[in-house]
Structure 1
Amino acid sequence: VTGPTGSGKTTTLYACLNRLNSVERKIITVEDPIEYRLPGITQVQVNPKIDLTFAQGLRSMLRHDPDVMLVGEIRDHETAEVTIQVAMTGHLVFSTLHTNDSASAVARLVNMGIEPYLVAASVECIIAQRLVRVICPKCKIAEVATDGKHELLRQMVGEETTLYTGRGCETCKHTGYFGRTAIYEIMLVDDEIRDHIVRKSPTNRLRELAVKKGMITLRQDGIEKIRMGITTLDEVLRVSQEGGN
């Protein structure tokens, strides 16, 4: 799972682990920090004072024969290398990176010194995400938008769409928003994309190929949530980029 700090990556990973959690599966994590405790899952806190890094924690976890592992963050070559090695041995491994979109995560791993053929062989799915604020349901109204905003939305959506906003109330402390939700971009790594990774195709080519295969981009998912009246155009523009997302 990739995205900037505060984009909800850990929450998404915890949700995945909770879904997989059962008495038949041994799940172990190595984190820094442990955000909250997950019943039935062994969680290990990174501790540099005793030389317990992400990489060392991963190596230690393997001795316990886990079925599923979570590495809180891939920060350096050593952690990336060990994570890839573990995934290559048939373990299901979850982790996070800091990149702008899903396709850029491939380049990030390669830039850390991982050979493209190893990335291609071990990565199954990359999720990029951002958090957007949700329009307060208590004070949600149709927005009287400017001509410029309507024109921008038509360019993005290709059709007329009703915009909503929150006028502000006691429930949302007069902000117009109540809570947050995520917009996602999910890139499934199939054989054709693996072949392009091995051939060191540029990030924009990987992205184009994924979109051709049906990947919904961050911007597109945001637009769908605008259509559904979940969030605002301003929020989607705030967290997504025109060129990449």
Structure 2
Amino acid sequence: MTSSSTTKTFPSSLFQGEAPVIQLLSHLILKAQESRASDLHLEPLSNAVRVRIRVDGALHEVQSLSKKLQESLVSRLKIMSASMDIAEKRLPQEGRFQFQCGIHIFDIRISTIPTIYGESVVLRFLERSSLPLGLSELGLEPEDHCILKNLIAQPYGLLLVTGPTGSGKTTTLYSCLQELNHPNQKIITVEDPIEYQLPGVNQVQVEKEIGRTFSSVLRAMLRQASNKIMIGEIRDAETARIAINASLTGHLIFSSLHTNDAPSALMRLQNLGIPPYLIAGGLRAIIAQRLVRRLCSHCKAPTDFTKYEETILGLKERSLSMCHPMKASGCSECQETGFQGRLGIFEILTISDLLRQDIHEKKTSVHLREHMRHHGIKTLREDGLKKVFSGLTTLHEILTNTLQ
């Protein structure tokens, strides 16, 4: 897979009067942005090119293009990235460029992958001028908000945020840094890519082509007398070891892992070869999270649970009286989807003395989940159900994004 950091900026006005395929590309990007899309997908089919956008995590087909436009669209995007090989169609490639529309500048990441019908392309958008959410905007329940504020106030330790791709991990990490970003703090990050620019924070972009990896930058960071360090993602054993050791030597470390829940993150660290005594000593907490669609405030309507749903939830008549479920309706404000924006659901596993003992004894993830239940720690599903009962999202959203 090829990639590079070379980035060009293209104002939307640049495309006016250009060849039709260039104007079409500009039109597709602008329309995707108007729809609040996070991604634009150009997918080759046997006789057409399907255009889809992802809004609030859900894919929507918006257009079908002539098959004749396929190669010229892909070639143009490769040229715009300045780092992709226009002649290479057999291997996946990655690139990036910037697109300016008025005062808004978007970083666009390109990913191509060869399919039987040609190269499939995904463009991922990130507005550079947007600011990370504050902690109070993440969707944390009041008690979880207090727990997280207390965790990031600690002088040292490792705080892990975990979840699948697109679950909002980076947003949570940035929110923590934003909360800590004061003149008396030196904060350094190593990221791939840098998704938000934070004034006052030293941000480093990974460049594997020149040897600037997560682990090499992290080693250098430890000599920079930093108070707080954010590692975009722990991807290998070396980075994990350096992060854990740094957390034990006076640094507060923030990072992310790709696992399904908090107990699985502990197993992942052990599988990377980190000794249990180091994990138990350095780790402060694990935050597992998902993003679910938020019901549109303009058109959501009261509803009742079906008997089947009541059975699934184990709700009694008394409990039902305290629930205020809502359903998606659809209106012009939400483009008839019934949803507008997303909110997080969370489980926060703090590392207590008892849990440290379990880690030392290499207890399984099943045992750790039982530990959570026994000590009243909310799971992802339980946190999601609270938001269903409050009318913020639907039961379907929670059931399709969490495990029992």
Q: 1:142 aligns with which of 302, 305, 319?
A: 302
Superposed counterparts of 1:32-181, under 5 Å: 32-143=192-303, 145-154=305-314, 159-160=319-320, 161-181=323-343
- The aligned residue for residue 175 of structure 2 is 15
Using CA pairs under 8 Å that are at least 6 residues apart, name the structure with larger relative contact order, 1 or 2: 1
- The aligned residue for residue 394 of structure 2 is 232
Mapped partners of 2:264, 2:185: distance in 1: 31
CA drift at 1:144: 5.1
State the one-letter code of the partner of 1:54: F
CA drift at 1:148: 2.2
TM-score when normalising by structure 2: 0.58
Give the fraction of aligned pairs with identical amino acids, expressed as a percent: 49
Mapped partners of 2:306, 2:335: distance in 1: 25
CA drift at 1:215: 1.2
Q: Deviations over 1:20-46 (max 9, x none)?
A: 110111000000000110111000000
SS at match of 2:194: coil
CA drift at 1:142: 1.2
Higher strand share: 2
Q: Quick check: 1:191 aligned with 2:360?
A: no
Q: Deviations over 1:88-123 (max 9, x none)?
A: 111000000011110111110000011111111100
- The aligned residue for residue 203 of structure 1 is 365
Mapped partners of 2:296, 2:239: distance in 1: 41
CA drift at 1:214: 2.9
Mapped partners of 1:220, 1:135: distance in 2: 18
Inter-CA distance 146–190: structure 2 relative to 1 (3 Å threshold): closer
* Contact kept? 2:325, 2:390, Cα under 8 Å: no
Inter-CA distance 157–211: structure 2 relative to 1 (3 Å threshold): farther
Please provide the CA RMSD for this pair.
1.6
CA drift at 1:217: 0.6
State the one-letter code of the partner of 2:164: P
SS at match of 1:127: strand
CA drift at 1:203: 1.1
Gaps of 5+ in 2: 1-160
SS at match of 2:212: coil
* Contact kept? 2:324, 2:390, Cα under 8 Å: no
Inter-CA distance 158–108: structure 2 relative to 1 (3 Å threshold): farther
Gaps of 5+ in 1: none
Q: Deviations over 1:54-102 (max 9, x none)?
A: 1101011112110000000001111111111111111000000011110
**Greater alpha carbon shift after TM alignment, 125-134 vs 205-214:** 205-214
Inter-CA distance 207–152: structure 2 relative to 1 (3 Å threshold): closer
Mapped partners of 1:4, 1:156: distance in 2: 33
TM-score when normalising by structure 1: 0.95
Question: Which has more radius of gyration?
Answer: 2
Number of residue pairs matched by the alignment: 242
**Greater alpha carbon shift after TM alignment, 152-161 vs 174-183:** 152-161
Q: Deviations over 1:128-164 (max 9, x none)?
A: 0000000100001012554323432345999323421
Q: Quick check: 1:214 aligned with 2:376?
A: yes
SS at match of 1:159: helix
* Contact kept? 1:132, 1:236, Cα under 8 Å: yes
* Contact kept? 1:188, 1:210, Cα under 8 Å: no
* Contact kept? 1:129, 1:218, Cα under 8 Å: yes
Inter-CA distance 100–157: structure 2 relative to 1 (3 Å threshold): farther
Q: Deviations over 1:184-232 (max 9, x none)?
A: 0000001110011011111121222233223111000001000100000
